[in-house]
């Protein structure tokens, strides 16, 4: 499946006074690299967000930026330092027994004593507060919708890329056809030249006719490009199958470009003539354009 690695999506939703905004953008990258920018309160659910991205995207640098506006008051807890209170109670009891103070320790006294009561956000001792109830679910829904939009954009751009790749592959196929004809014509001409030269040799050094004919055929076969032509066409068919298949294929297409370039180099070493050289150069240039465009494919 031809799908671009570049895309953009932005979405926000509000429920019960809580608002979540998500912006996702992706660019080319050799592998999948997910970068998440989110408020500290979402740290407990960052792994879930990255997992959602990994399910929908297989390649590219994906930057996810999340904003949260929470209207509900954060959950708090009151912590009493019981050890300190027990120590204070004991000290006051000792002071009363010596007549230094009178009366009992009251609730208002406890509230005025520094550091005896601590009012703080829940989970603050773990270094981060959990997102309020409902925010995590809303976040997952918004991220999922934004990923849907991102994938649609990457698929749309992928269709334009596929049209361009198909045109380049067709042009390359024409060069392969030309090289096949030139290769066969070159073989026939080479064989004819060899036979003419052998016929011009003095009879005493012409050797055994059957052996000479066998060596001639073997020598001419060295310039045979049929195997390379067949492999080139096989690579092209494999390319077309990958392009319409369900799986992302950018890496496989990149590998096929390398293999096709190797076949063209082999053909170039076998065929002769100015016309052949011209076509080989044009084919290699088209392969380079294919390679550059494939770098945009997921």
Residue by residue, DSSP assigns 37-92 as E--GGGGGGHHHHHHHHHHH--SEEEEEEEEEE--SPPPEEEEE-HHHHHHHHHHH
129 has a pLDDT exceeding 70: no
Helix (H, G, I), strand (E, B) or coil at 11: strand
Q: 55 vs 122, which has greater pLDDT?
A: 55
More confident residue, 47 or 107: 47
pLDDT tens per residue across span 35-45: 999 988 888 89
- List residues bridging with 77 in a β-sheet: 120
Please compute Rg for the chain using Cα positions: 38
Asked if 59 and 83 sit in the same domain, the reply is no
Regarding whether 202 and 65 lie in a shared domain, the answer is no
In a domain, 126, yes or no: no
Written as six digits, the tokens of 133 are 């109830």
What percent of the chain has a predicted confidence (pLDDT) above 90? Answer: 53
Residue 198, in any domain of the structure: yes
Same structural domain for residues 163 and 48? no
Indicate the average pLDDT of the chain.
Answer: 85
Q: Please indicate, yes or no, whether residues 235 and 196 belong to a single structural domain of this protein.
A: yes
Q: Is residue 1 part of a domain?
A: no
DSSP H stretches of helix in 222-273: 226-244, 250-270
Same-domain check for residues 211 and 265:
yes
Q: Copy the structure tokens of residue 90.
A: 């004991």
For residues 81 and 214, membership in a common domain is answered with no
My answer on whether 64 and 19 are in the same domain is yes
Q: Are residues 186 and 271 in the same domain?
A: yes
Structural domain of 20? 7-72+132-154
Tokens representing residue 34 in the block: 């997910």
Indicate yes or no: pTM above 0.85. Answer: no
Q: Are residues 189 and 147 in the same domain?
A: no
Tell me: do 11 and 80 sit in the same domain: no
Average pLDDT over residues 94-123: 79
Q: For residue 170, how many C-alpha atoms fall within 13 Å in the half-sphere facing its CB?
A: 6
Tens of pLDDT, residue by residue over 271-286, are 877 888 999 999 999 9
Pull the structure tokens for residue 49: 């967000």
Shared domain for 161 and 109, answered yes or no, is no
- The distance from CA 216 to its chain's CA centroid, rounded to whole angstroms, is 53
What is the pLDDT, as a whole number, of residue 183? 80
For the chain, give percent helix, strand, coil, nearest 5.
60, 15, 20
Residues 180 and 198 in one domain: yes
Q: What is the pLDDT of residues 229-244, one digit of tens each?
A: 999 999 999 999 999 9
In the chain, how long is the greatest CA-to-CA distance?
143
pLDDT exceeds cutoff 90 at 218: no
Model confidence at 126, in pLDDT bands (50, 70, 90)? very low
Q: How many domains does the chain have?
A: 3
Mean pLDDT of 53-74: 88
């Amino acid at each position: 499946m031809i799908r671009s690695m570049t895309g953009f999506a932005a979405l926000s939703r509000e429920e019960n006074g809580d608002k979540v905004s998500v912006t996702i953008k992706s660019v080319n990258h050799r592998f999948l690299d997910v970068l998440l920018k989110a408020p500290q309160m979402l740290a407990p659910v960052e792994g879930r967000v990255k997992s959602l991205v990994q399910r929908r995207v297989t390649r590219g640098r994906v930057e996810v930026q999340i904003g949260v506006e929470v209207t509900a008051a954060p959950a708090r807890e009151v912590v009493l330092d019981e050890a300190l209170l027990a120590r204070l109670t004991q000290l006051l009891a000792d002071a009363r027994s010596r007549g230094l103070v009178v009366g009992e320790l009251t609730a208002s006294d406890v509230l005025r004593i520094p550091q005896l009561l601590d009012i703080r956000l829940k989970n603050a001792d773990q270094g981060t507060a959990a997102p309020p109830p409902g925010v995590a679910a809303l976040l997952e829904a918004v991220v999922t919708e934004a990923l849907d939009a991102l994938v649609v954009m990457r698929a749309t751009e992928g269709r334009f890329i596929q049209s361009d790749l198909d045109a380049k592959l067709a042009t390359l196929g024409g060069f392969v056809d030309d090289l096949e004809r030139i290769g066969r014509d070159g073989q026939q001409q080479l064989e004819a030249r060899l036979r003419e030269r052998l016929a011009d040799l003095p009879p005493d050094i012409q050797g055994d006719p059957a052996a000479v004919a066998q060596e001639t055929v073997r020598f001419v076969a060295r310039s045979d490009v049929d195997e390379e032509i067949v492999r080139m066409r096989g690579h092209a068919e494999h390319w077309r199958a990958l392009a319409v298949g369900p799986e992302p294929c950018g890496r496989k297409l990149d590998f096929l470009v390398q293999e096709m370039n190797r076949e063209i180099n082999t053909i170039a070493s076998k065929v002769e003539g100015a016309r052949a050289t011209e076509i080989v150069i044009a084919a290699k240039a088209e392969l380079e354009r294919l390679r550059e465009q494939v770098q945009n494919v997921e």
